[in-house]
Structure 1
């Protein structure tokens, strides 16, 4: 895994000045690639690279050149099918100087041009400068495992794996994007193509970008189709999936450095570990962490799985020093990011790095196979009810009931119906959006200042979600929900979290369940092979019953979590209160001071749990304090 950065000045630049700037940009990415650095500069282009050596340790340095230096590449990621593509290119007469996947991409581009990306199975972000045509070609993998930011002002185009490289290169105007801030307060993260800065964008997943002096053109090269599910039996699809999983794991085992797996004790990571045990000739190195608070400890089940697959198992008990690491976490994220599971992810990556340089994970199982039943099941039921009533009756009826129904955690669970009534009054797409966000419309309106609302000019974050949901070809609400989660939540929350926290420790993470072949297979499954009897991931549970201890098959999902509410009332209380008093914080101009103080009082008293909201407030404030620090955290 690596860090890439660079810029193109179509009007030309001084080579010495360009190299000086480029070195600053690459140096701040050294955590992504501590092993080597490399640079290429000509009269128009400057490409920089930081390398984390995984394959072909003695060669494969970047930038890498072809056609007598006319074509140059910097690449971040791994291509799992590079040997197959290499053999295809060799049959066409190409000769290779290295054993690495970078050269395969480079010569693939020479042979197939922009269509080379469709042949790649892996996680990647790369940039190719083609001096023959004075053109830059950039691409990002199908689900966005590897990041790519860019800035374009017509004359200069700059790109980087992380925003901080653009900042130290003075290629990142720092005007905040107010719509991005609105998205942050709604989702807890900033979805592509937006970034926290108005002038900087993220290249969305499954896209490539063609940049010349005349134009900057974005093209989508892959779509996930949920149309026309194929009727099959559970036994048939389990057999097919087992073979797909084993192949996805096998092709991710190529490494010349120590390799292992994150083992949380949950269904997804244990299936990946069990598959590794089937295809590896040596014991799997498993890494598990537990927290000193018993409620947040999955070590006993992870240990049971490790014994079952005869793994080389390593356990780490963590007492989180949250006040010591939050500045580091916010520095590595570059943008405000409010998913509190970043804290345990930081620790599991830190601990895993002590034993391995590459770790496989179970990420992707929930999105691909219907694991988010707490959202999916109510959404599907609501969708069926909507279909039974015409909108002209449903909207006023349920809209009125939803407005009048009380919202209170003190109500018995069967009577907490306000959200359901409100959702029944709107479309499927809007209801799904409401299930994703933290701030309901009425809360958003009450919290935001008048000036901030005016500055948004009518923008609402549903504009970021709606195209995914409404544009899906899925025949039902479950498929549309999964389609949206894969391209929105998974890409801009889960994968951002894993990339930044792993790269902070120079650890590469590979995710077999996100193999595009598995995602395409899962998308074509009938609904009753995903969720049945209120349980999700039916197919994964079936395979687990064949490969894993019986105690795991019906275990509820836990995942990484932390006692955020308690921390905010104790050791993090001074941090929050200092941020709330900062009159220069973005929060001071966005949120009504009186309202936020009222919510904070409720949280401190324990009458309401506002931990999700105040974790977001805290991370925004810490980002403001750390975002311009150019030193490694």
Structure 2
């Protein structure tokens, strides 16, 4: 795992300063503490920071072919590189190292852009082809590895693994994008459709960008998608056996490393299944670690111990408490953009704990998106059944009832019917977009000033989910929702969280449940075998029944959740109240501070549930300070209005 950065002049081959490329790459030293390299040629420069995992003695980057016609800087792992190396050797390619990086160079020379379809892995790379005088930028199918892009005032295209590396370029303008802030407050992260910095983008998962000298920068090309339109007709027993083989292959392929390797173990089905298959494939005890909480209703360490004992792993645990709030500045620095999934606190701690013993850790991320494991999937499917039974006027009447039903955040769950009634009155796409929102549109509107509403120019965050579901290659509502999750939620939240927190401590995280062949298989599993009887991941739990006890397979899902709402009523209550007085939010002029103060008071008293929103605003405040200098001076006030 590594960090990459670079510069390419699409118009004419202007000189590229090696020191400028180095400055960008050095901002990524945490991603690659084991080595650094810079390569430049007329009109192009590539930088690299290396975390050595495979071929420790070789594999230095940027790597060039023997004829120096191709150069690449690369972040990630190609898990099938040995098979590809054998195939390419048979086709006449010679290799000087045992690294997967060299396979990318040979793969490009042999197959061009089609090499991406042959790579099984997680990656983001930039490859310069001197003969064609082009730069080729690519990102893996699911978006495990990030790639930021921007065009600067001298015409250069700059790119890097993280935003902080682009910020090291002196010509990058710093201006906040109001639409990105709307998206962030809706979802808790800035989706891959944009960046918090106006003018900065992200190469979408499963896409490549090929820029030829002397031509305009084109639109990125999609080279992979997941298709839910062809469900299998096989029976449950056959699909179960196929799934087990896909799971085994996903795990085994990700256990290839020349450094110590372990796993995150939460005690949930997904991570427990990964550990079970690692134990099956390993000749020695698997290194596992988990994070717990002082709050008992969030703590899963007892379940993790059950799994660790069952598979005789070398297991370690660390408890996260409210005083881990001190990590906020560390997280702000790691993510650059505001990021409000509070489980990032625990993810950082478990990565930190893992790094004490290993350099690579496997996680259980991805199964919920692939096999309908989230609670919102169950609720959405139940609502969809009701919507299908009611004619349009009746659905609208139910929705209108929800609009007047009291909110009752403080009441027992069975009395909180407002959200469900409103959802039934909406279209499937609108209802699911609301379900995935961290902060609903009506609450966001309460804290926006009229000036900010005008700056949005009609943009509404939920529209990206609505569009993704309507355009999804899927035949049923559940599959459309899962497709949108795979395209938006997975790369924007889950994979961003794991990448930034693990890279912050120099740890490579791998997601075996996101092997693209497993994802493609999951899309062919009929919806009734993903979600059945109110149970998500039905087929996966059935497949893992040979490995895991019922108390793990069928326990209530807790997830990797940080008890942030409880913290804002206890140890962090003062911080919640201070959000309303935040100097950066005030200077931006886009938020109603009195409305924020009211919500903070409601939360502390228990009359309202606004813990997630308070955390979002707190992380936004710190990010605005760091990225734009808001709160430190009034220099940006004019440009924000």
- 278-287 vs 183-192, greater mean Cα deviation: 278-287
Check if 1:567 corresponds to 2:567: yes
Query: Deviation of residue 410 (structure 1)?
Result: 4.5
The answer for the alignment partner of 2:247 in structure 1 is: 245
Query: Deviation of residue 471 (structure 1)?
Result: 1.1
2: CA distance between counterparts of 1:404 and 1:43?
65
The answer for the alignment partner of 1:7 in structure 2 is: 7
The answer for the alignment partner of 1:124 in structure 2 is: 123
Q: Deviations over 1:493-543 (max 9, x none)?
A: 000000000000000011111011111111111122111221111122212
Within-5 A mapping of 1:301-380: 301-319=303-321, 321-372=323-374, 374-380=375-381
> Residues 190 and 196 of structure 1 are in contact (CA less than 8 Å); yes or no, is this contact kept in structure 2?
yes
> Residues 587 and 621 of structure 1 are in contact (CA less than 8 Å); yes or no, is this contact kept in structure 2?
no
Q: Root-mean-square deviation (CA), in Å? A: 1.8
Query: Deviation of residue 29 (structure 1)?
Result: 0.4
Check if 1:523 corresponds to 2:523: yes
Q: Secondary structure at the match of 1:104?
A: helix
The answer for the alignment partner of 2:386 in structure 1 is: 385
The answer for the alignment partner of 1:616 in structure 2 is: 616
> Residues 89 and 108 of structure 1 are in contact (CA less than 8 Å); yes or no, is this contact kept in structure 2?
yes
2: CA distance between counterparts of 1:194 and 1:39?
28
The answer for the alignment partner of 1:553 in structure 2 is: 553
> Residues 177 and 198 of structure 1 are in contact (CA less than 8 Å); yes or no, is this contact kept in structure 2?
yes
Q: Deviations over 1:598-624 (max 9, x none)?
A: 111111222212101000000001112
The answer for the alignment partner of 1:136 in structure 2 is: 135
Q: Secondary structure at the match of 1:523?
A: helix
Check if 1:605 corresponds to 2:629: no
> Residues 59 and 98 of structure 2 are in contact (CA less than 8 Å); yes or no, is this contact kept in structure 1?
yes
1: CA distance between counterparts of 2:589 and 2:233?
54
Label 1:624 to 1:14 Cα distance change in 2 as closer, same or farther (>3 A): same
Label 1:319 to 1:443 Cα distance change in 2 as closer, same or farther (>3 A): closer
Residue correspondences, number: 625
Query: Deviation of residue 175 (structure 1)?
Result: 1.0
> Residues 124 and 140 of structure 1 are in contact (CA less than 8 Å); yes or no, is this contact kept in structure 2?
yes
The answer for the alignment partner of 2:481 in structure 1 is: 481
Runs of 4+ residues deviating >6 angstroms = none
The answer for the alignment partner of 1:460 in structure 2 is: 460
The answer for the alignment partner of 2:99 in structure 1 is: 100
The answer for the alignment partner of 1:469 in structure 2 is: 469
The answer for the alignment partner of 1:211 in structure 2 is: 211
> Residues 79 and 254 of structure 2 are in contact (CA less than 8 Å); yes or no, is this contact kept in structure 1?
yes
- 449-458 vs 206-215, greater mean Cα deviation: 206-215
> Residues 396 and 426 of structure 2 are in contact (CA less than 8 Å); yes or no, is this contact kept in structure 1?
no
The answer for the alignment partner of 2:632 in structure 1 is: none
Check if 1:514 corresponds to 2:514: yes
Query: Deviation of residue 339 (structure 1)?
Result: 0.4
Query: Deviation of residue 231 (structure 1)?
Result: 2.5
2: CA distance between counterparts of 1:463 and 1:172?
29
Within-5 A mapping of 1:185-200: 185-200=185-200
Query: Deviation of residue 569 (structure 1)?
Result: 3.5
Check if 1:236 corresponds to 2:238: yes
TM-score w.r.t. the length of structure 1 is 0.95
Q: Deviations over 1:72-127 (max 9, x none)?
A: 10000001011111111111100001101011011100111111111111000000
> Residues 584 and 621 of structure 2 are in contact (CA less than 8 Å); yes or no, is this contact kept in structure 1?
no
2: CA distance between counterparts of 1:211 and 1:603?
51
Work out which of the residue numbers 287, 296, 299 in structure 2 matches 1:297: 299
2: CA distance between counterparts of 1:425 and 1:319?
41
The answer for the alignment partner of 1:161 in structure 2 is: 161
Query: Deviation of residue 293 (structure 1)?
Result: 3.6
1: CA distance between counterparts of 2:593 and 2:15?
49
Q: Secondary structure at the match of 1:216?
A: coil
2: CA distance between counterparts of 1:434 and 1:535?
22
The answer for the alignment partner of 2:635 in structure 1 is: none
**Structure 2 alignment gaps of length 5 or more:** 630-641
Label 1:58 to 1:551 Cα distance change in 2 as closer, same or farther (>3 A): same
Label 1:587 to 1:342 Cα distance change in 2 as closer, same or farther (>3 A): farther
